[in-house]
Structure 1
């Protein structure tokens, strides 16, 4: 008997929790984001030769693999990543002292905005650190300031300008006890310069509610940050209608957001402040997949094929989620939202392993449900949780009518006796 191609190692166990909103954890994520080793592909015969303990560990490794599916690029995410990298590089390599053009990434919940942006800025940081040999080129003589080319923060739920500034300072580990808003903004400016930060990502930016009277200085806060030597990347749900920009419409031809001219009404400065944001930020949408044209269907199927290669089930996975009615079924279950697709595939694989079916089928996925609890880090009040489609009711096949007792009528009798 040949030796099983797997030793039962537990290297897949996760390390300490990662919090990308802290410098040390961000660096650990950035440097290890591609280091996870998926469970090896194994046949049913090879699996049967494992000891009971090895089977249990292999099953856990498979669960870890399905819970850590790699972030796949989509045609939509590639456009976002290109724009983010372009704007950051334009600002970082510019020798001018002017305001950097920022990016606003808009889209629905669970559509991969955060992972797309984080991957883009992490790739920039990898290259930037290599160019400068990991050393802060702007460090003051005699000091060893933290070198943080990228800072990533998330707005807290029911955020305010003060709490947003505090989150930024938390990333660097700065003390802000007792500071007023003016002091906080000034300190944020100082740490960005001291630590040579070239890109500042503020996620969940639409948690800042402009309808609250106490938060009307949000636009002033963002305008102040735009004057800092850093490229701002703002990520949120429903940005065009959040108040960060005036209400706009999306041009169906160019796919760009179009904003009406400012009407000089009232004495509020917010309208003109919003106009400044429109000129200094480029707004881009990260849309879900569509399933209307042959090209859109092909793109969806290609995405499923990428996921298919990551599945670790004992039956042959070739065509498991790309053949037959499966692509259309998966689209109806998820509306083309990649986050929901990932959760559905993850749940389905767990059921397939536990029931020993070892394959994904429509019948098995019909028993898998998705709920808002599957997306605990998305705030429902801020519109971050996507609409989850109901499990489709399978079509019933029409059964032929039993005609054994039908009366054929006298004509049939006459014809039979002829």
Structure 2
């Protein structure tokens, strides 16, 4: 004879109401600070999903515990885990290789950097931060959580990874202020640019920084003098024993590396020769030679391998979702994979948002199941036009795009013109 399950057995692992409220209501410090980055690094992926119970078991719970369980289910469904997709693995592999090589260099004065490009909702920031967090964990473990380059007698924070967002109106001074703001370092209002650059260099060294992540680098526009100065300053930081990791939307199209073209055979971005190369026979650009560009792609649904990768991703989401009527194959069976691919174009961010909203709607309506009919009621907005790496859309020439077709000028009316005194004929 089997023992009947008690309420405690059904909800084993369910936090108390106070703990659930703390998880939902707690605010997190901004990631652009040392405290915020450390919170992200130590808490990323640490949420334990709600336990799985059947509708019958849920009905057996006291009303107060059913409410607690539903709150925790909502929290679980709203925080889909970051899965190891081929796109995520591609970015992580490059960042690990670059950081591993740069941290072992002794005589090279300049550290090569990484650029991660992709369109909106492709998961650039998530992939970059996850790879950098893994590196920092390994680096701290290697050095017993101590700064190997610390000055005796000081207690500087050890910050192997620095994460900041590119200022909206970027100038060399605002970039320096953002980096110093990561450590909450005081800045003199009257400080000159050379003084700020020296303060940044000292902070990077004193805190043992090995990786500097600059997100939203697409805010730079190369036709602005200040933005060109910011790019020059970033290149100068590469000589400070720091690996620069830049993340942005459509890096090849914003002029940061000059307008590039995607080579389908080599699956690499190729830079056309500069006009100065044709005239002077010398490449004067440095940015494209100092960085390796990786393009973050979306899910594809053409080959059997691509289809299986997408289905594996859906299976991972399916295991994480907590819906009372959920069944095996809810997201992977029948025509659901094709439906989800058609709705989201394989964009990982849009896919996650659609399923998160679907889970919320399924709980709110009492259906407790995601299907095509339910998802049809959810509207998501895709950023158009999308640019797949194997079929890139090269942006139009800005100078040509701004020009208007000249129109023929209307002749001036000369009826009232004064032609001076009339000339007498034969005088």
TM-score scaled by length of structure 2: 0.83
- Equivalent residue in structure 2 for 1:122, among 120, 133, 152: 133
Cα shift readout 1:235-281 (whole Å, capped 9, x = no counterpart):
001111212111111110111111122221899xxx966x2111111
Q: Following the alignment from structure 1 to structure 2, what is the Cα–Cα distance between the partners of residues 153 and 213?
A: 22
The CA deviation at 1:220 is: 1.4
The CA distance in 2 between the partners of 1:71 and 1:159, in whole Å, is: 31
- Separation in 2 of the partners of 1:355 and 1:44? 15
CA distance in 1, matches of 2:347, 2:108: 40
- Which shifted more, 222-231 or 343-352? 222-231
Provide the rounded CA distance (Å) in 2 between the counterparts of 1:61 and 1:386.
35
**Alpha carbons of 1:252 and 1:211: their partners in 2 closer, same or farther (altered >3 Å)?**
same
- Partner residue, 1:201: 213
The structure 2 residue matched to 1:293, chosen from 291, 303, 309, is 303
Residues 1:138 and 1:69: Cα distance change in structure 2 (over 3 Å): same
Q: Note the residue ranges of structure 1 that are not aligned, 5 or more in a row.
A: 373-384, 389-418
Aligned: 1:232 with 2:235: no
Cα deviation, residue 331, structure 1: 0.9
CA distance in structure 1 between the aligned counterparts of 2:351 and 2:137, rounded to whole angstroms? 30
Relative to 1, partners in 2 of residues 1:187 and 1:386: Cα closer, same or farther, differing over 3 Å? farther
1:94 and 2:97 equivalent? no
Query: Residue by residue, what CA displacement relative to the aligned partner does 1:54-76 show, whole Å, maximum 9, x if unpaired?
Result: 11211111111111111111112
Q: 1:232 to 1:263 in 2, by over 3 A?
A: same
From 247, 266, 282, give the equivalent of 1:254.
266
- Work out which of the residue numbers 197, 215, 222 in structure 1 matches 2:234: 222
Give the CA RMSD over aligned residues: 2.1
User: Structure 2 vs 1, CA of residues 331 and 248 (structure 1 numbering), >3 Å: closer, same or farther?
Assistant: same
For residue 276 of structure 2, give the secondary structure of its aligned residue in structure 1: coil
CA shift, 1:232, in A, is 0.5
SS in 2 for 1:151: strand
Which residue in 1 is equivalent to 2:84? 73
Alpha-carbon distance between aligned partners in 2 of 1:161 and 1:289, rounded to the nearest angstrom: 38
Superposed, 1:313-392 pairs within 5 Å as 313-371=323-381
CA drift of 1:93 comes to 2.1
Cα distance in 2 for partners of 1:242, 1:123 equals 30
Q: Please tell me whether residue 25 in structure 1 is matched to residue 43 in structure 2.
A: no
Q: Could you tell me how far apart the structure 2 residues matched to 1:386 and 1:180 are?
A: 42
The answer on 1:176 being equivalent to 2:187 is yes
- Report the Cα distance in structure 2 between the residues aligned to 1:287 and 1:72, rounded to whole angstroms: 15
Residues 218 and 272 of structure 1: is their aligned pair in 2 closer, same or farther, counting only changes over 3 Å?
farther
Does the alignment pair 1:2 with 2:5? yes
CA distance in 2, matches of 1:102, 1:323: 42
- CA offset at residue 96 of structure 1? 2.4
Q: Is contact 2:116–2:294 with CA below 8 Å preserved after alignment?
A: yes
Q: TM-score, normalised by structure 1?
A: 0.84
**Are the aligned partners of 1:309 and 1:317 in contact in 2 as well (CA < 8 Å)?**
no
Distance 1:322 1:183 in 2: 58
- CA distance in 1: counterparts of 2:233 and 2:79, whole angstroms: 37
Secondary structure at the counterpart of residue 264 of structure 1? helix
Larger Rg: 2
Of the candidates 154, 167, 185, which is equivalent to residue 178 of structure 2?
Answer: 167
Paired position in structure 2 for 1:35: 46
Q: Mean alpha-carbon deviation: is it higher for 90-99 or for 193-202?
A: 90-99
* Closer/same/farther in 2, CA of residues 116 and 362 from structure 1, 3 Å limit: same
Q: Pick from 277, 293, 302: which aligns with 2:312?
A: 302
CA distance in 1, matches of 2:377, 2:326: 21
